[in-house]
Amino acid sequence: MAIRLDNLNFAPRIGFAFDVFGDGKTSLRGGYGIAYDSSLFGIYEQNIFQNPPFVNSPTVSNTSFDNPGAVSANVSYSAQVIRATSPKFRTPYNQQFSLDLQRQLPGGALLDVAYVGSVQTHLLGLVDINQAPIGAFAAANPGTTVTTSTVSQINPYRPYKGFSAINSVQPIFSGNYNSLQASARKEWKHSSLVAANYTWSHALTNAGADRTGAPQISTNPSAEYGPAAADRRHMFNFNAVYALPFFYEQHGIVGRLLGGWEVSGLGYFNTGLPLNVTTSGLDPAGVGVVFGSSVSSGRPDRIADPNQGNANTPIHNRLHWFNINALTAVPSGQIRGGNAQRAIVEGPGWWRVDTGLFKNIRFTERVRMQVRGEAFNLFNHTNPDTISTASLISASGYSSTAGNITGYRDKRILQLGAKVIF
One-letter identity of residue 134: I
Mean pLDDT of the chain: 89
- Beta carbons of 324 and 317 less than 8 angstroms apart: no
* Paired residues of 126 in beta bridges: 169
Cβ proximity of 173 and 223 under 8 Å = no
User: Is the Cα torsion angle 136, 140, 146, 150 positive or negative in sign?
Assistant: negative
Per the model's pLDDT, the better-predicted residue between 245 and 218 turns out to be: 218
Say if residue 69's pLDDT is above 80. Answer: no
Residue 316 has pLDDT above 60, yes or no: yes
Q: Is the pLDDT of residue 74 over 80?
A: no
3-state secondary structure of 246: coil
CA 216 to chain centre: 18
Instruction: Give the single-character DSSP code of 377.
Output: S
Of 207 and 6, the one with more pLDDT: 207
Q: Which residues contact 252 (CB under 8 A, 6 or more apart)?
A: none
Q: What is the DSSP string of 209-231?
A: -SSS---SSTT-GGGG-EE-TT-
Contacts within 8 Å (CB) and 24+ apart, 220-224: 221/125, 221/127, 221/172, 221/173, 224/342
Do 264 and 374 touch, CB atoms closer than 8 A? Answer: no
- Considering 37-46, 107-116, 309-318, the range whose residues carry the highest mean pLDDT is 107-116
Q: 55 pLDDT exceeds 90?
A: no
**Res 420: pLDDT:** 93
Specify the fold of 13-50+77-421: Maltoporin; Chain A (2.40.170)
pTM of structure: 0.86
Whole-angstrom distance, CA of residue 220 vs CA of residue 378 = 48
**Which of the four pLDDT bands, split at 50, 70 and 90, describes residue 325?**
very high
Q: Number of helices and strands (H, E) in the chain?
A: 3, 21
In this prediction, residue 112 carries a pLDDT of 98
Secondary structure of residue 106 in the 3-state scheme:
helix
Which pLDDT score, from 0 to 100, does residue 205 have?
94
Please state the separation of Cα 338 from the chain's center in Å: 22
CA-based nearest residue to 263, from 369, 195, 196, 192: 192
230 contacts 205 by C-beta, under 8 angstroms: no
State the Cα–Cα distance between residues 90 and 310, nearest whole angstrom.
48
Is the confidence at residue 7, as pLDDT, over 90?
no
- Which of 43-52, 136-145, 252-261, 310-319 shows the lowest mean pLDDT across its residues? 43-52
3-state helix, strand, coil in the chain (%, to 5): 10, 40, 50
Residue 64 has pLDDT above 90, yes or no: no
82 has pLDDT over 90 = no
Are 285 and 134 spatial neighbours (Cβ–Cβ below 8 Å)? Answer: yes
pLDDT digits (tens, 9 = 90+) for 161-220: 988 999 988 899 999 999 999 999 999 888 889 999 999 999 999 987 766 778 999 999
When pLDDT is averaged across residues 104-128 and rounded to a whole number, the result is 94
Residue 370 has pLDDT above 80, yes or no: yes
Residue 76, pLDDT > 70, answer no
pLDDT at 1 over 70: no
